[in-house]
Structure 1
Amino acid sequence: MNALLSTPLFGILISLITFEIGYLIYSRTKITLFNPLLISIILIISFLMRFNISLDDYNKGGQFVSFFLGPSTVILAVPLYKKINLLKKHSLPILIGITGGSFIGITSVIILNYFFGLDASFNASLVPKSVTTPIGVEISKQLGGIPSITVAAIILTGIMGAVIGPATLKLFRIKDKIAVGIAIGTASHAIGTTKAIELGETEGAMSGLSIGLAGLITVFLAPIILKVLSVFVQ
């Protein structure tokens, strides 16, 4: 066992096995709350705690899984390519929608952090909660945040978006497929996009588009908004 722990194979294997268990549970139940990623995280943490295995031992292989987070988002361009004419036709409202969603996501976090009395590093860590993990971690570092908190916030935001996003849109009677995809992708990045793909090809394509654009927009907006609002909320 100790020999296995000393190799990257352990982290890779436990990540793949727990995710497959999570996916099996989700595919059988179709309950959004049973997100494969959430189940995988719970199982990994439980396993490490039960057998007193350190995070460093897990990360010998887990870091390789994290490395592929960035390249894996490229596959989201496939449904977008299929709907490229739709994108060209509605480019302006799509851009406005993603920009507006990113702006609201950033400002709401800063304002809520002020009311709850959280410190500056925690504030910076939560600002990029609605962008995909590779981009969010870099934004967090740029703003002086704590990457581990950022990753946790991104995962939680994505799962919440996948769970309550469709129901919220239905509640407000938002039925346009483009609007649905943009809303889910901008608010809850890749995890939400997996749910958008289930809703339809158009929703998935627009949600996939939102991931990249929302990340790019957040890179530029987050430092500016954080600096401006910090003057008023201090």
Structure 2
Amino acid sequence: MIEAVTTSPLFGIVLCIGTFQIGRWVQKKTGLTLANPLVIAILLCIGVLLIFDIPYEDFAIGGDIVNMMLGPATAVLALNIYNQYAVLKRHFVPVLVGCTAGSLFSLASVLLLCRLFRLDEAVTAALLPKSCTTPIAVGIAESHGGIAAITMVAVLVTGFIGAVCAPLFAKLMHVTEPVAEGLAIGACSHALGTTKAAELGEVQGAMSGIAIGVCGLITVVAALFL
């Protein structure tokens, strides 16, 4: 009976959605930045699989369906850019320069550190796009022979750090301009950071969303030359 349930695609889908909703509830109740819904969902999913000794392959039947939706979800970012067209037009040069600088610095710093610690090419390729949103990052990593699992973890850790530390970094660097703050968060910590940017203000959230799409495009192009 249990095997019939866990091998159904609905099991993975319901577990992903259910744990994420629990994460949202915990964050809403606690108000803690550390209580990130995605991180809570991941930990709960791992806990369920371990406690009930459910093979990852069974979970992946439905989990892969959820994962498949990452691509369309990323494409929807274009809608956010369109909705904020007036803001983008007004700040086009700062957006382009800021996103280019953020993307190139991210790639260069990761490449430098990987060379410094003598990591192999597969790991290096997996870590390079860590500041992009997951579908774009995985696509870049796989096209360069990187390990997708490492890329996903790197993206998650980067986003989580950005979501937690963004307000502190903005305060330390005396960044008070909403446009600059939003661009910085989106360029460094993609979707997870954008959730925090949206809490800081409407403009910050919008600019962070724009930065995700623009930085993704810049990183894709830049990665061709690495």
Go from structure 1 to structure 2 and tell me whether the alpha carbon gap of 1:137 and 1:79 turns closer, same or farther (over 3 Å shift): closer
Deviation at 1:74?
4.7
One-letter amino acid of the counterpart of residue 139, structure 1: I
One-letter amino acid of the counterpart of residue 111, structure 2: I
Q: In the TM superposition, what whole-angstrom CA distance separates every residue of 1:19-45 from its partner, at most 9, and x where no partner exists?
A: 111111111111111100001101111
One-letter amino acid of the counterpart of residue 28, structure 1: K
One-letter amino acid of the counterpart of residue 173, structure 1: H
Q: Which residue of 1 aligns with 2:130?
A: 129
TM-score (norm 1): 0.92
Deviation at 1:139?
0.2
Q: In the TM superposition, what whole-angstrom CA distance separates every residue of 1:121-161 from its partner, at most 9, and x where no partner exists?
A: 10100001011111111100111100111011111111111
3-state SS of paired residue (2:110): helix
Q: Which residue of 2 aligns with 1:166?
A: 167
Which runs of 5 or more residues in structure 2 are unaligned?
Answer: none
One-letter amino acid of the counterpart of residue 159, structure 1: F
Q: Which residue of 2 aligns with 1:155?
A: 156
Deviation at 1:70?
2.2
Deviation at 1:47?
1.3
Deviation at 1:116?
2.0
Which runs of 5 or more residues in structure 1 are unaligned?
Answer: 227-234
Asked if structure 2 preserves the Cα contact closer than 8 Å seen for 1:101 and 1:186, the reply is yes
Asked if structure 1 preserves the Cα contact closer than 8 Å seen for 2:163 and 2:189, the reply is yes
In 1, distance between residues paired with 2:208 and 2:189?
9
3-state SS of paired residue (2:132): coil
In 2, distance between residues paired with 1:110 and 1:79?
31
Runs of 4+ in 1 over 3 A off after TM superposition: 73-83
In 2, distance between residues paired with 1:139 and 1:81?
25
Q: Which residue of 2 aligns with 1:39?
A: 40
Q: In the TM superposition, what whole-angstrom CA distance separates every residue of 1:197-228 from its partner, at most 9, and x where no partner exists?
A: 1111111111111111111111111232x3xx
Asked if structure 2 preserves the Cα contact closer than 8 Å seen for 1:77 and 1:205, the reply is no
Q: Which residue of 1 aligns with 2:209?
A: 208
3-state SS of paired residue (1:130): coil
What do you get for the CA RMSD once the two structures are aligned?
1.4
Q: Does 1:50 align with 2:51?
A: yes
In 2, distance between residues paired with 1:139 and 1:188?
17
Deviation at 1:117?
2.3
Count of aligned pairs: 225
Counting only pairs closer than 5 Å after superposition, residues 55-94 of structure 1 correspond to structure 2 as 55-77=56-78, 80-94=81-95
3-state SS of paired residue (1:64): helix
Q: Which residue of 1 aligns with 2:187?
A: 186
In 2, distance between residues paired with 1:26 and 1:218?
32
Q: Which residue of 2 aligns with 1:229?
A: none
Deviation at 1:49?
1.4
One-letter amino acid of the counterpart of residue 123, structure 1: T
One-letter amino acid of the counterpart of residue 164, structure 2: V
TM-score (norm 2): 0.95
Q: Which residue of 2 aligns with 1:116?
A: 117
In 1, distance between residues paired with 2:94 and 2:11?
47
One-letter amino acid of the counterpart of residue 100, structure 1: A
